[in-house]
Structure 1
C-alpha cells in the first residue's frame, strides 16, 4: 500500500468529478444526503473562515489507462461543496458571518452566486487535505474505512457495508436502486439519512434465510442485522442473489408509486409475504390489491405485534403469521410456510425507529 498527497483545489476536483475521474461509488461508503442544511452551511463557513476540516482519503487506480480517484472518506464534504458551487442550495439562516482582512461578510441565506467574487475564489481554490492510497487490497480499504470512522457515529447499518464485504455491499447497493426502494417505500428523512432502505433490505434477507434454511436470530434489530452481515460475508451464493433480485423486481412491479403502508416496520413483512405471492403465481397487480386491502382493514393479531419492541423475533413473526393468514384467505391458499425454526431466547430489546 502506497500513500501520497494530492495538491488540488476544489475547482479542479469538481472538474474531475464531472468528467468521471473522481468518483464516489465505493460500496462501503455511506450514501449521499447524510447532512442537513445547517451542517452543509457550517462546512462552507469553515472553508471561508479558515476553520480546520478533516482530511479526505482517495483510492487511486487505473481504469483503461485513465487515472481514477475513488473517495473512501470525505464524500459528504466534497459533494456538498460541489453542490453549493453549483447553486443547488443556499446557506442556512443561522450561518455565522465571515471576517476577512477586517471586512465582515454576511453569508447567511445566500447561494454561491450571491457571494462576493472574493468569497467565491476562496471556495473554488480551497485545498482539502487529501491523502491518496494506491495498491491497497479490498480488505485493507475496508479496514481503513472502519478505522477512519471509529470515532464517528456511524450507525450499525452503515457499518454493515464493511462487515459484509465490498463485493456484497456493491450488490446490495444495486438492489436498492430498484423502483420498490426509490419510489414506493415511505421512510422519514431521518430514516433515509441512516440508510433505512439498506436496513429493511437486510432484515428481509435475514427473514428469508430463516424461512429457507432456519437461520437463527433473536430479533431483526440493528445488532442482529450486523451479525447477519458477518454471517453472509463470502457465502451469499449467486442463486440466493437471484432470488432476492427476482423478489424486488416483482415488488417493483407491484408498487410503482408511493404506498403509505410501506413504512419502515412493514417493508420486511410485505417483502417476505411477497415471496409467497411470487411462489404462488400471484401477479404483481393482484398482490398490490391484497396489500391495499390489508392496509384498509384492522388485523388485530398484526396490530398486537406492532409498537414498542416490534423488532423482537416473537413480534416480527407474529406480524408475519398474521399477514400470511390473511394472504392465504384472500387467495384461498393453504399450508403456507412463512417462518423457519424458533430461537431459544428473545432477549433483544431494541425498539424500531
Structure 2
C-alpha cells in the first residue's frame, strides 16, 4: 500500500469534484446527506474562522478518488459552493481583516466577495491511497473510527466478506428502497441490512438455517457468505425483483421488519414464473388490513429479530407467494 498527501483549495477541490475526479460511492461510507442543517453550516463556518477540519481519504482507481472517509464533508462543501443550501440562521457573523460580515441564512452566491474568497482559499488535506487491499481499507476505516460510536450496520460493513460487501452495496443503492423505507432509515443504511436479510431468508431454503436476525447471527452470516457460497443467479434474481417492484409500487407505508420477507417472497414469485401483479395486490391488501392482523403483528414487536418471529413472518409471506397463481402465457 502507498499513499500521497495533497493540499487543495476549496475552489480547486470543488472543480475536481464537479468533473467526477472524486466519487462518494465507496462501500465503507454512509450515503451522503447524513448531516442536519447546523452540521453542514458549521463545516462552512469552520472555513471562515478558520478552524482545522479532518482530511479526506480516498482510494484511487483509474484516476478517480473513491472517498472512504469524508463523504459528508466533501458533499457538503460541493453542495454549498453550488448554492444547494443556505447557512443556518443561528451562525454568528464573521470578521475578515477587521470587517464584520453576516453569513447566517445565506447561500454561497449571496455572501460578500471577501467571504467567498475566504472560503475558496481554505485548504483541505486529501490522502490518496493506491495499491491497497480490502484489508488495508477496512483496517484504516476501523482505526479512524476507533472510540466513536458506530451503528451495527456500519460495524458490519467493516467485517463483511469483501465480495459480498460489494454485492450488498450495489443492490442497496436501488431506487426502490426509497419507496420501502423512510428517509431516516435510508440515512441509517437500513437498505444494506435489508439486502443481507433477504439473502439469509433465501439461503435458508437450501437446508440451512439463517432465520435469526439477531445482531451476532447477521454478523456471522456476512463474514461467511463469500466465494462459492454466493449464487450469482440469486443475485440477478434479487435485482430483477427490485426492478419489478419499482415499476409496480408507489411509496408503501409498511413496517420495516416485513420488507426483507416481502422482497424474498417476491423473488420466489418471479423465479417460479408466477403472476407478479397478483402478488403486488397481496402486498397492498396486507398494508390495508395490517391494523387488524393481530396474529402477524404479534411477531413484529419485542424481539423482532429472534428466530421465532423471523420464521413466522417469513412463513406468512412464503404462504402468500405459494398462493399466487402462475403467470398466464
TM-score using structure 1 length = 0.83
**Equivalent position of 1:245 in the other structure:** 236
Deviations 1:35-85 (A, max 9, x none): 112111111111111123112223335x2xxx3333221111011101100
Deviation at 1:330, TM superposition (A): 6.0
What's the secondary structure of 1:275's corresponding residue?
helix
CA distance in 1, matches of 2:77, 2:27: 21
Deviation at 1:235, TM superposition (A): 4.7
Q: 2:307 aligns with which of 290, 309, 313?
A: 313
**Equivalent position of 1:289 in the other structure:** 281
Q: 1:22 to 1:215 in 2, by over 3 A?
A: same
CA distance in 1, matches of 2:36, 2:200: 31
Q: Is the 8 A contact 2:82 2:108 kept in 1?
A: yes
Q: Is the 8 A contact 1:247 1:278 kept in 2?
A: no
Q: Is the 8 A contact 2:275 2:324 kept in 1?
A: no
Give matches, 1:211-230, under 5 Å. 211-216=205-210, 219-230=212-223
CA distance in 2, matches of 1:236, 1:30: 26
Q: 1:166 to 1:83 in 2, by over 3 A?
A: farther
Q: 2:199 aligns with which of 193, 198, 205?
A: 205
CA distance in 2, matches of 1:324, 1:138: 37
Deviation at 1:211, TM superposition (A): 2.5
Q: 2:105 aligns with which of 90, 104, 109?
A: 109
Deviations 1:64-109 (A, max 9, x none): xxx3333221111011101100000111222233233333322221
**Equivalent position of 2:177 in the other structure:** 181
What's the secondary structure of 2:90's corresponding residue?
coil
Q: 1:226 to 1:15 in 2, by over 3 A?
A: same
Q: 1:114 to 1:221 in 2, by over 3 A?
A: farther
Residue range with higher mean Cα deviation, 11-20 or 171-180: 171-180
Q: 1:279 to 1:300 in 2, by over 3 A?
A: farther
Q: 1:224 to 1:6 in 2, by over 3 A?
A: same
What's the secondary structure of 1:128's corresponding residue?
strand
What's the secondary structure of 2:64's corresponding residue?
strand
User: 1:134 and 2:126 equivalent?
Assistant: no
Unaligned runs of 5+ in 1: 333-353
Q: Is the 8 A contact 1:10 1:126 kept in 2?
A: yes
Q: 1:4 to 1:178 in 2, by over 3 A?
A: closer
CA distance in 1, matches of 2:33, 2:278: 35
CA distance in 1, matches of 2:83, 2:229: 43
Q: Is the 8 A contact 1:2 1:136 kept in 2?
A: yes
Q: 1:100 to 1:151 in 2, by over 3 A?
A: farther
**Equivalent position of 1:45 in the other structure:** 45
CA distance in 2, matches of 1:68, 1:139: 20
Give matches, 1:1-353, under 5 Å. 1-61=1-61, 63=62, 67-182=63-178, 184-185=179-180, 187-216=181-210, 219-237=212-230, 240-256=231-247, 257-297=249-289, 298-329=292-323, 331=325
Q: 1:94 to 1:213 in 2, by over 3 A?
A: farther
What's the secondary structure of 2:129's corresponding residue?
strand
CA distance in 1, matches of 2:69, 2:193: 22
Q: Is the 8 A contact 2:30 2:187 kept in 1?
A: no
What's the secondary structure of 1:27's corresponding residue?
coil
TM-score using structure 2 length = 0.88
Unaligned runs of 5+ in 2: none
CA distance in 2, matches of 1:81, 1:2: 27
- RMSD of the TM alignment (CA)? 2.3
What's the secondary structure of 2:146's corresponding residue?
coil
What's the secondary structure of 1:8's corresponding residue?
strand
